[in-house]
Amino acid sequence: MRASYFICALVTLLAASARSGSADVAAQAAPNAAQPVTAAADTRGFMVFLRGTPVGREDVTVSTDANGTVISSRNRLSPPLDLITRRAEIRYRPEWIPEELTIEATAQLREVAVRTTFANGEAATEGVEAGKPFAKTDKVSLQTIVLPNLFFGAYEALTRRLAGVAPGARVTVYIAPQAEVPVTIKSVTTDRVQTGSTTFTVRRYELGFPIPGGELTAQLSADEQGHLIRLTVPAQSLDVVREDLAASTSRTQVYSNPGDEAVTIPASGFNIAGTLTRPKTQAARVPAVVVLSGSGVGDRDGIAAGVPTLGQLAGALADAGFLVVRYDKRGYGQTGGRAESATLGDLAEDARDVVRYMSRRKEVDPKRIALVGHSEGAWVALQAAARDDHIAAVVTIAASASTGAELILEQQRHLLEQLKTPDAERQAKIELQQKIHSAVLTGKGWEGIPPELKKQADTAWFQSLLAYDPAKVLERVKQPLLILHGELDRQVPVAHAERLADLARKKRNSKGVEIATVRGVNHLLVPATTGEVSEYGSLPDRNVSKDVTTAIANWLTKTFAAIR
C-alpha cells in the first residue's frame, strides 16, 4: 500500500535536500569519466509519468564537439507539476566542467528565468521569478553535475559521468540554483531491456540524495554508450522514460530466474504480458501459482526500493515444485489497458483471466491453482477468489484488515509522527485527508480542496481503494487461506494479520485459515532493523527472506496435497 496519498513534487524534496547540504560537500571528489566526442546532435523524446499516469513530455538534445557538450530540452508537464519549459540548456566544457545554465519557463503559471555561470569554484545565478529579480552565489566543485529541478535531460550528464563508477562512490551535484549536495551511488546493476523481440543491455544506478531526516532514493538507467534511458523516483511515483521504451511493447528485464519464459495472456480487450517460472523437475500435471503485486508497483517483478519481490517469490516457489506466473499490471510494461481507470475489481478480473489461462495449459493441474498477493495484491487476490471457485487457495502477504480509507489515515498518522510534524499542522493534514476521502466516496464536498489534490485523488482506482472492505469480501472467500505478515512491517502493521484472520474465521471453519508471522522482515519481505520506509534505501540485504518463501511453499504443498 502507498504510505500516503499526498505526493510532493520532486522539486520540493530536491530543494529541501539542497538546503540541508553543507559547504564542505564541494570538496568531495567526483569520478572523472572520459568525455566522448561526437559531432552530431542526438535528440530523444522522454515521457513523464506520475503514479503511472502520463503528465507530459520532454524533448532532449545532446551535442558534443571539441568545445564540450550542450544538453538542451523543452517540456510541457501538466498539473500537479504544471510546467512549460521553453528553453533549458546546460553547457559543459571538456572534462564535464560546467560553464553555463539557462532556463526560461512557466511554472505554476509564474514566469521563471534563470541564468547561472560557473567560474572559479562558484555558481553565480541571476534570475526572475514571478516578476521579482533575485541573485545568489554558491560554492561548487570544479566538476559538479548541474541538475536543475524538473529539467530531466540534465541527468544525461550524470549518466555519462557514472560510467565505470563503483557502488559506494559519491558525486557532487548542484541542485540549481539552491546548493551543491553529495549523491551516493548505492548500487550498480546490469539489466536487459526488451523492445518487441529485441533486447539490449543497460546499466542501472541506485542513487541516494540526502534530504532532511533521511535519504531520497532514485534509480537512473543508461545504455551502453552512457545515454539516459530512465529516471525513477519510487517515493514520488515519478518515472521519466525514453519514448521508445515507454511503449507497451517494451519492458525492463530487471530480474530473471533460470528458464523464465515470456507469455502473452488474452484478457478482456487487451493482452496481459507475463513470465512463467518452471520447476526444475516437472511432472505431467503440476500445481500453479499466480503472484500479484501491490499498489504503485506495476511491473511483473514487483520491484520496490530495489527489491524484486515477485521475481524472487516466483523463483523460490518454482524451486518448491510449482509452476509460477507473474505479470505486468494493467497499463504497465507490456500489458495493455489503462492503469488510471482500473479499479481493484478490474485488477481482480485480470487475475481471473490469468487463472483461466493457467488452467488451460496442459502441464497445469486446473484443480490446484493458487493466488499469492502482496499488499494491495492481497486484496485483489481475495476479491478474485470471492468471485471464482476455480481458485483453489489464497495466500495474502502484508494485507490490511481495515478499509482502504482507514488504512490511509493510519499510514498518514504514522508518517506525520515520523516527521515530528507539529500537532496543529498534523491535525490539519489529517482533516484535509478525511475531507478528500469523503469527496472521493460521495462525489460531493470538493470545495476548498486544492485542484491539484482533486486531480490526484478523483480517480476510479483511488475510489475503489478507499471503499474496499476486507470484512465484506472475506464473507465470500471459501478457499483455504494463509495470512502471512512481516513482524517489522510499518506500512501495514503486523496487528492487521490477526484481525484479518478473525474476520475470515467468523464465517467459516477456523481450520481453513492459518497465520504465519515472519520475524525480522519488513513490508518488502526482506531482513530489516526498524522496518520503516526511511530504512529501505540503506538495507544491506535485498533478498526476500527464505523464512517467507518456505512458509508459503510448505503451506501450499500441504494444502494442495489435500486436494488431489
Residue with cell 525480522: 520
Residue 40: how many other CB atoms lie within 10 Å: 8
Distance in angstroms (rounded) separating the CA atoms of residues 520 and 26: 39
Of residues 245 and 496, which shows the higher confidence score? Answer: 496
Q: Where are the domains of the chain?
A: 10-246, 254-402+469-561, 405-461
* pLDDT score recorded for residue 28: 34
Residue 47 pLDDT more than 80? yes
The bridge status of strand 271-277 relative to strand 68-77 is unpaired
484: amino acid identity, one letter: L
Give me 21's grid cell. 547540504
Rounded mean pLDDT, 391-395: 97
* pLDDT score recorded for residue 33: 39
End-to-end C-alpha distance for the chain, whole angstroms: 35
Phi, psi of 490 (to 5 degrees): -105, -15
Residue with cell 471503499: 467
Count of alpha carbons within 13 Å of 445, Cβ hemisphere only? 12
378: nearest Cα among 280, 231, 501: 501
Residue with cell 504544471: 82
Residue 199 pLDDT more than 80? no
- pTM higher than 0.75 for the full model? no
Rounded mean pLDDT, 126-136: 86
Lowest mean pLDDT across 192-206, 405-419, 489-503, 542-556: 192-206
Distance in angstroms (rounded) separating the CA atoms of residues 309 and 377: 12
* pLDDT score recorded for residue 256: 79
Q: Supply the CATH classification number for the domain 254-402+469-561.
A: 3.40.50.1820
Q: Are 528 and 522 in contact (CB under 8 A)?
A: yes
26: nearest Cα among 185, 177, 176, 180: 180
